Structure 1
């Protein structure tokens, strides 16, 4: 399969990169200085038939247009907002990604961020490390809560989901008006860009908690920061940010915010499963077999 030339756009998991290098003819785009990347692509375009990227960078229209022999794009992640899907469809380029394998770990982090923000766990951790903690009999209360949260669940999506008893709201504004913790976990599209705006944040209110485990641009970050600073939003747990890796400095001094560096899928097991899924998709394409997880 070494005849398949693959352009790796950004650094990814070390295992995936090593396997791509071993199995295919690998070109690493980031090793070329930005000022010389057009020259690099022109020199190597005849051999490049596949692009592998991630939510940090994949296949935009400019890159696709510089690769006349491109046949397939593989995205290391479930978010495909860094792939120009319209241009891929126009060119007949196949697109694969890594759904499902990221679901459980990302959901776990969402719950963790919500609890950490609600109970100010990071603040409590700093308090304890400072030696300021006095003994308290809370073990039984923690154990009782661990038996089950017992929270009512409601949601918003493009359509009501079958086979669920969860309360459905047709709009995010309705959802925010009727919940205490709002978790953003949808894909980033033109439709969902800044779906969490000032109006939604106001509806969530000064006792509400916003958790974002989807994409940074689902949330109007300027409005989020001002709402937290002014006390119009109670707390936030954030795994993703609008201009990653930049995090608004105003958030650093707030005790009602939990910040983690986009680690929702960052476990050994999930990263390995995602890598293997990319490799299996590329192998299937080379052998003219059905793709495992095609977007189209």
Structure 2
């Protein structure tokens, strides 16, 4: 039998999520928190890389503080000085900056300080950039700066690896490519490049040391050869017996000159040896 008043089944209803109320900060609180981040100031720049670096450093501080768009714009404008402050005042005249998003601020900033001609020159430099005499760390830093100015030039991670590989010197590229497989990510490529730079440098030092030692050995051999030549020459002209022989020969020559000068140069007047064929008397046989 069905009861007249059946008990209704109670189905629990999920509570409605209420979004948290926006955090309201006073200007003093916002300034105090932002000041402790020691964000960089910006005055002016004709170099897009410098302007872009300022934006990057500033955005790190803003993201850490978890600010909304209006607070980000307010803090960023607070760091503008001199020429940049004058530019911001002109922006305030032509638009309502209190409703400006962070993307709007970045767009305005780039339109002012990312000159089109300079940007095109930077992009051309990016296409032609090579490591040269830079270290791997310096070359990678420069590459990343140029790449950040032209993100549309790099379609994927593989394309970035290809461009960076082309940037390195040939002696490093050979070592980097010698692994079982080519590097697939930028992190792997940079890691290989740093190791290759170390071993290539070690090899150059060893080769330089080897050739320096060879040059020193060659120079020492020449010095020893020169000393031996001087010693041999002194022995031929200088020892005691050599000097006496030379003096004796010199005296004999002088004696001969005196005989000739004194009229005694006739060979017949020279002392004759006995039983010499030059004598007129010959030995006779005894009978």
TM-score (norm: length of structure 2): 0.24
So what's the TM-score if we normalise by structure 1? 0.23
Which protein shows a greater Rg? 2
**Structure with bigger RCO (C-alpha 8 Å, 6+ apart):** 1
Structure with the higher strand share, 1 or 2:
1
